[in-house]
Amino acid sequence: MLTHAQVWSAIDRLAARAGLSASGLARRAGLDPTTFNKSKRITAAGRARWPSTESISKALAATGTSIEAFVGLIQGTGTPARGVPLLSFAEAGAGGYFDDGGFPAGTGWDEIAFPAVDDTHAYALEVSGQSMEPAYRDGDVILVSPAAAIRRGDRVVVKTRDGEVMAKELKRSTAKAIELKSLNAQHPDRTIATEDVLWIARILWASQ
């Protein structure tokens, strides 16, 4: 017998396979961002609410997933995944979410399941807006490692001491400054004094 919990869990697994949050999956499918949120799974009267076949169909099309693969997700036979902390990019500039080393801190994080993530220090940031296009689109999720070694040419997340958080490509790093290439040609490259950088972390993977 097909259950309400099985279908919603399959949608969560579908989002995880694409490296998206539930809201990111909905946006990718052209749906209202709250379509797959946990708050939409139960009515105000406390009754279970099922996702529509139309919303599932759009989510499958948006992720290139067959109905057979979705059935596998319902049955729990999809790619194993583990939970990693999730935060929106917009929230990342606020205080209390990271320690001085750039590792997740505090209790305000959500969680997202990522397949085959071995880095115990990794966390995820959900992109909002168009400032990082074409590299990253609204709703994409990037996987970040504060412990990974960083080399020239790597894509990185940088947080400055004044709270600015940005995703760029590392062009050059010296004792005095880091030079960053913008991922969006409409935004300028940046050079930031080393003393003004709170932390820098490597982007390991991103949903596309």
Closest among 59, 6, 18, 27 to 138, alpha carbons compared: 27
Residues 81-206, CATH architecture: Ribbon (2.10)
Is 161 a residue whose pLDDT tops 80? yes
Report whether 81 contacts 114 (CB < 8 A).
yes
- Output the average pLDDT for the chain: 86
Q: Which fold has domain 4-74?
A: 434 Repressor (Amino-terminal Domain) (1.10.260)
b/e code 56-93 from CB counts within 10 Å (16+ = b): bebbbebbebeeebbebbbeeebeebeebbbbbbebbe
Q: What is the pTM of this model?
A: 0.62
Q: What is the mean pLDDT of residues 172-192?
A: 93
* Domain assignments of the chain as residue spans, ordered by start: 4-74, 81-206
55-102 pLDDT tens trace: 999 999 888 888 878 888 887 755 555 678 898 888 888 878 888 888
Supply the pLDDT for residue 205: 82
List the structure tokens of 50: 């099922």
pLDDT class of 106 with cuts at 50, 70, 90: confident
